[in-house]
Amino acid sequence: MPPYQPSSDWQFEVPTSGSKRLPPAARYVESLTHQGYGFEAAIADLVDNSIDAGARNVVVSFLRDDDRLVSLLVIDDGSGMDDESLDTAMTVGGREGYSETALGHFGAGLKAASLSHADSLTVISRTKRSPSAGRRWLTARAQADFTCDIVDPGYCQDLVDRYDGLIQWHGTIVRWDRVRAFDTVTTGQADRFLNDAIEKLETHLGLHLHRFLARDDFNIDIVVEDVRTKEELDHRGVEPLDPFGYRVPGRSGYPRTYTAPVEGAGEVALTAHIWPPKSPLVSFRGIGPLAERQGFYIYRNDRLVQAGGWNSTRSAEGHLALARIAVDLPNEPNDVFSLTVKKDGVTVTPAFARGLEQATDGAGHTFAAYLQEAETTYREAARRATEPQRKAVLPAGKGIDPKLRRTLRDELPELDGEDPIAFRWDTLPSDVFFELDREEREVKLNKEYRQVFNGGRRGGLNDAPVVKSLLYLMVNEIFQKERVRAVHTDNVALWNSVLVTAARCELSR
């Protein structure tokens, strides 16, 4: 390149005089800890890696030592990694390329998601052809000189063996230690913190990965584990939370698919839905404020990466609360849609808005007409007489199967900010089927009669769903009362008498 000659004319190309390599400073790692990852989004990013590794089962485990939370693990039975792959995985931006169907995108998710919440990140993995191996990043060491520790091979195998029911020939364990949120839990508040954290995580994973969870060959479980005894203190299977999972559409003729010609991305399909008005379903009301959940639900390789919002094409308004549109991003690279690093939103260029203006279905209906019909459906429902309202209840907690809890939340409004009702089996007098512990908000069931409900099988945390659900409905009001009246005490005595007799009849059959 000839040397630069000063000129008063505008330079359309910036002249250069050479180049030099400027690798990132070690302090760059500090920026990873300030990416703004929410707790649930960070865990979801780790589960994305498990899915990319072909995992069929993923377990998120909160490790508890008495009243103290000590660690968090994400365990999967994916293909695993050898030493070389581990080095790549623990390098910022280490992945040079992803397949078209991969959920990973930037090569920073594992590190950024983890270090946003924990000061120690350990990854241990094994493949069919390589032994267990591990790497650890401590935030302080990484900030100093990008140093990554090699985990002792013996410990790697010990941890893999601890979860041999899940990891058999291959799999990966991501371990978080010194989790900052855990340090904020004060004495006696571990149960409350865990219940709130797990509820939010269950909802986030159920929503953003609902297409995967709807398949028969993929499962996510959330457990609380006693770090010393290995006993499971809580176990919840994550259920798919389909944002389009209504039973009957809110308007005839929907869902309807429109095609938008978007310059730079080609024809983009928009599957438009109108929710039934006043739906009590969790997938409508339980995934966030309705004003934020209207609009576009954007998927990338079946993973939900944006749950609502209009992407600057219009403003949110109450009358469009029933409008939700599913959009699958094109597989081909384009300059119109850009995914955020945290995979919690998509930015679009004005070309998308122009495409919406021209979007129609095969019968000539326009996207603009769809928005009008969604608004009309909302207004018509608002003018109709108020529907019967069910009384709000205390939420269902530990001991009730997650599927059952989801149905209860769908059917009954819950009181905000209240501790849930939990169930557990305990030693009680033979003439007592259950007791109410109002202080702990717990229903104790007589374990003498547990076999009646398990058909000879070993009972689990969420067993006997029929009797637990009935008792939940029967005693909910009693737990809500400040004082228990004589009529409530008499009802409990009556129910105990009938249930004990019924259980004994069943045992004698």
- Residues ≥6 apart with Cβ < 8 Å to 428: 434, 435, 444, 445, 446, 447, 448
pLDDT at 483 over 70: yes
Q: Given pLDDT bands bounded at 50, 70 and 90, which one contains residue 138?
A: confident
Q: What is the pLDDT of residue 432?
A: 95
The torsion angles phi and psi of 61, rounded to 5 degrees, stand at -120, 120
Q: What is the pLDDT of residue 58?
A: 97
Q: What is the pLDDT of residue 35?
A: 66
pLDDT at 203 over 90: yes
Which H, E and C letters describe 355-370, residue by residue?
HHHCCECCCCCEHHHH
pLDDT tens-digit series, residues 28-70: 666 666 666 889 999 999 999 999 999 999 999 999 998 899 9
Name the residue among 153, 178, 152, 173 with its Cα closest to residue 162: 173
pLDDT at 352 over 90: yes
Q: What is the pLDDT of residue 98?
A: 55
Percent of the chain at pLDDT > 70 equals 90
Q: Given pLDDT bands bounded at 50, 70 and 90, which one contains residue 99?
A: low
pLDDT tens-digit series, residues 240-264: 999 999 999 999 999 999 999 999 9
| Averaged pLDDT of the chain | 89
Question: The whole model's pTM is what?
Answer: 0.81
Distance CA 202, CA 107 (A): 25
Per 3-state DSSP, the chain is made up of helix, strand and coil in percentages (nearest 5) of 35, 25, 45
CB 60 within 8 A of CB 73: yes
Q: Given pLDDT bands bounded at 50, 70 and 90, which one contains residue 369?
A: very high
Distance CA 354, CA 88 (A): 41
Look at residue 152 and give its three-state secondary structure: coil
Q: Given pLDDT bands bounded at 50, 70 and 90, which one contains residue 86?
A: very high
pLDDT at 104 over 70: no
Mean pLDDT of 61-86: 95
CB 339 within 8 A of CB 331: no
Most confident segment among 22-36, 85-99, 143-157, 212-226: 212-226
Look at residue 257 and give its three-state secondary structure: strand
Least confident of 44-53, 67-76, 403-412: 403-412
Least confident of 13-22, 260-269, 445-454: 13-22
Distance CA 325, CA 304 (A): 12
pLDDT tens-digit series, residues 284-329: 988 989 999 999 999 999 999 999 999 999 999 999 999 999 999 9
- Residues ≥6 apart with Cβ < 8 Å to 165: none
Name the residue among 394, 407, 405, 509 with its Cα closest to residue 440: 394
